[in-house]
Amino acid sequence: MKSSEDIKNIAIQTIEEEANSIYQLKNYIDGDFVKTVELILESNGRVVITGIGKSANIANKIVATLNSTGTPALFMHAADAIHGDLGMIRPNDTVICISKSGNTPEIKVLVPLIKNMGNTLVAMVSGLDSFLALNSDYVLKAKVEKEACPNNLAPTNSTTAQLVMGDALAVALLECRQFTDRDFAKYHPGGALGKKLYLRVSDLVSKENPPKVSIDEKIRPIILEISSKRMGSTAVVNEQDELLGIITDGDLRRMLERNEDVSQLTAKDIMTPTPKITSSDVLAINAFQIMEKNNITGLAVVDNGKYIGMVHLHDILKEGIV
């Protein structure tokens, strides 16, 4: 039985070996990598990624990354391909075949079939003198010297290298396409991630009868306005709905602490004249960050100089994006 210290050392050694394998990949980013990126950018087809065994698992992940960053892609299992799935490849598609050795029987059968179809074939392979590498149009060199496995058998360094090379390809394509966070949001509309990227203040603010009082309003109507609208604050506006200030629950408490007679006080005496504001087109997550930074629970929403409503911290929390 290994000691706890031995177990820790094994884990650290594995991480170090895989990190070193990844770091060495920078030496293999060459003209073939650039040509592959340019080929995919200029093509009106898709990227079909194939592999077998653990490489097939990596292929699936790279397909998911490409699809989510603006490059249409699909997975084709190498074994299934030679039993009918080759029909999914269209004339303009680019095919990327992932394999560590590049010499597995399925790959040797598949490669000539793809070449006969006339599609451009890109190898992602560690074995640079393999059948796959020598018969491909371009080679993405996911080369590793050995596996982290002490028997040099279980795919560890090799699959990590494939994954990182796939990420490098996806990010290069992403940046060349000038893919923005808004583009990313189109492909990730669900869950907290999607909401962070597309949910805006306009989706949360209620523009119908928002809390507001005039600058000359007395204390009782102010308290009633804050209480009835359940926002914890109210805007102070002029006749043109231009924002003059804001009054919060905290402002009311501080007013009571400072004054024994509050009957003659007005909104002007209580309000914060330079409140934090936002606009309706700001992302909800950014509005949350303003609240968090300033330790407040609400923001007045102002568009084109006009007050349109309030957005509260609870509105954002309810959406589950933080």
Lowest pLDDT segment from 31-35, 92-96, 248-252, 318-322: 318-322
| Model-wide pTM > 0.75 | no
Region of 156 (left: φ > 0; alpha: ψ -120 to 50; beta: rest) is alpha
| Band of pLDDT at residue 62, cut at 50, 70 and 90 | very high
Tokens of 46: 């898709």
Task: Give pLDDT, residue 188.
Answer: 63
Lowest pLDDT segment from 72-81, 176-185, 306-315: 176-185
Task: Give pLDDT, residue 191.
Answer: 60
Element (H, E) at 98: strand 94-99
Task: Judge whether residue 153 has pLDDT over 90.
Answer: no
Task: Give pLDDT, residue 185.
Answer: 65
**Domains (ranges, CATH) in the chain?**
4-179 (3.40.50.10490), 201-318 (3.10.580.10)
Task: Judge whether residue 189 has pLDDT over 90.
Answer: no
Show Cβ contacts of residue 5 under 8 Å, excluding neighbours closer than 6 positions.
none
Region of 56 (left: φ > 0; alpha: ψ -120 to 50; beta: rest) is alpha
What value does the mean pLDDT of the chain take? 90
User: CA-to-CA distance for 42 and 218, rounded, in angstroms?
Assistant: 67
* Buried residues in 265-289 as b, exposed as e (16+ CB within 10 A): bbbeebbeeebebbbbebbbbebbe
275-307 pLDDT tens trace: 888 999 998 889 899 989 998 888 899 999 899
Q: Give how far the C-alpha of residue 286 lies from the chain's centroid of Cα atoms, to the nearest Å.
A: 15
Task: Give pLDDT, residue 145.
Answer: 92
Please list the alpha-helical segments (H only) found in 69-128: 78-81, 105-117
Tokens of 68: 């989510």
Check whether 312 is labelled as a binding-site residue.
no
Return the axis-axis angle of helices 219-229 and 249-258, rounded to nearest 10°: 150
Higher pLDDT, 2 or 198: 2
Mean pLDDT calculated for residue range 139-158: 92
Task: Judge whether residue 141 has pLDDT over 90.
Answer: yes
